[in-house]
């Protein structure tokens, strides 16, 4: 049995990881320990330890006490526009916090799985592979790229997973897809931009991919996104089609004012991921992910 510490367990991806480790497919293999700055949503039967990753001494001390085989770091400051205004907070969480967790892992020789972003690329070409040089455009992306570097510099066993546009059911906060579905269900017209391309990723699918990668024995960056590249307008149209809502409610627009600069085409190539997973597990495209959501409203 491997002990897995999930930091950021209250969050969207963290809660999915907890769910799947509890599931019969993984419960025989992993012992989950949940951590966050407080316990809001974590099931009672899961062991919880408070960790504020911005506190270096206590973070290292707590990780040493838990002594996990693997740490999955999902905690981060992810509001891209707010990061432009709250640079110190973004720096403390995404850079120093990441480094603190990595240093804790180093003390006990445990592995870290770190969640990064497609936004580390400038979006000039798309279909980015892991070997291409990041050129982040906004402060959020800069902090995540710097977090990646802090991890690799520690010399620990790591996997850096770059992901994008996480979606799925989550009762505590809307994501891009559930925001679209909620508006379409209520008959609201929505304006969706046509010139931002990403690889949307079902959080349930990503959680299982991360659990598969725990046994991957090479330290490297792996792009872990959905198996497709679509612009935001195309994503919205697929939502309407699969959930039987009116596509007429969706208005394409070419410009949407946002504080942080977004890359135009940040789609990621997942050839490496597919090779690692082989026939063990399927990476879902958006159609498959939305159909999963339609069938599993409780997951």
Task: Measure the CA–CA gap between 30 and 45, rounded to whole angstroms.
Answer: 14
Q: Sort strands 166-167 and 230-231 into parallel, antiparallel or unpaired.
A: unpaired
Homologous superfamily (CATH) of 2-172+201-226+266-285 is NAD(P)-binding Rossmann-like Domain (3.40.50.720)
Q: Say if CB 80 and CB 198 are below 8 A apart.
A: no
Count of residues in the chain = 299
The residues spanned by each domain of the chain are: 2-172+201-226+266-285
Give tens-digit pLDDT for 188-210.
Answer: 999 999 999 999 999 999 999 99
For all residues of the chain together, what is the average pLDDT?
Answer: 96
Give tens-digit pLDDT for 156-194.
Answer: 999 999 999 999 999 999 999 999 999 999 999 999 999
Residue 76 confidence (pLDDT)? 97
Residue 25 confidence (pLDDT)? 79
Residue 298 confidence (pLDDT)? 79
User: Mean pLDDT across the stretch 30-47?
Assistant: 94
Residue 255 above 90 pLDDT?
no
């Amino acid at each position: 049995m491997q002990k897995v510490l999930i930091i950021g367990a209250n969050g969207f991806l963290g809660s999915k990881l907890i769910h799947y480790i509890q599931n019969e497919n993984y419960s025989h293999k992993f012992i989950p320990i949940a951590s966050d700055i407080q316990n809001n949503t974590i099931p009672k039967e899961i062991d919880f330890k408070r960790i504020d990753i911005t506190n270096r001494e206590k973070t290292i001390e707590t990780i040493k006490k838990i002594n996990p085989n693997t740490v999955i770091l999902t905690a981060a400051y992810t509001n891209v526009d707010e990061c432009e205004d709250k640079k110190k907070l973004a720096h403390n969480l995404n850079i120093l916090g990441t480094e603190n967790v990595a240093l804790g892992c180093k003390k006990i020789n445990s592995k870290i799985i770190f969640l990064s972003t497609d936004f580390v690329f400038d979006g000039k070409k798309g279909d980015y592979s892991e070997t291409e040089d990041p050129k982040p455009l906004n402060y959020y992306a800069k902090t995540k790229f710097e977090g990646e570097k802090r991890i690799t510099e520690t010399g620990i066993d790591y996997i850096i997973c770059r992901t994008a546009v996480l979606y799925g059911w989550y009762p505590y906060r809307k994501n891009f897809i559930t925001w679209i579905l909620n508006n379409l269900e209520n008959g609201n017209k929505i304006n969706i931009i046509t010139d931002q391309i990403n690889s949307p990723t079902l959080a349930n699918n990503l959680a299982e991919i991360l659990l598969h990668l725990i046994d991957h024995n090479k330290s490297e960056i792996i792009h872990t996104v959905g198996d497709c590249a679509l612009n935001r307008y195309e994503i919205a149209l697929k939502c309407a089609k699969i959930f039987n809502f009116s596509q007429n409610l969706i208005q394409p627009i070419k410009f949407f004012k946002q504080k942080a600069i977004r890359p135009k085409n940040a789609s990621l190539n997942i050839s490496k991921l597919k090779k690692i997973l082989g026939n063990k597990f399927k990476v879902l495209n958006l159609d498959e992910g939305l159909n999963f959501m339609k069938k599993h409203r409780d997951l």
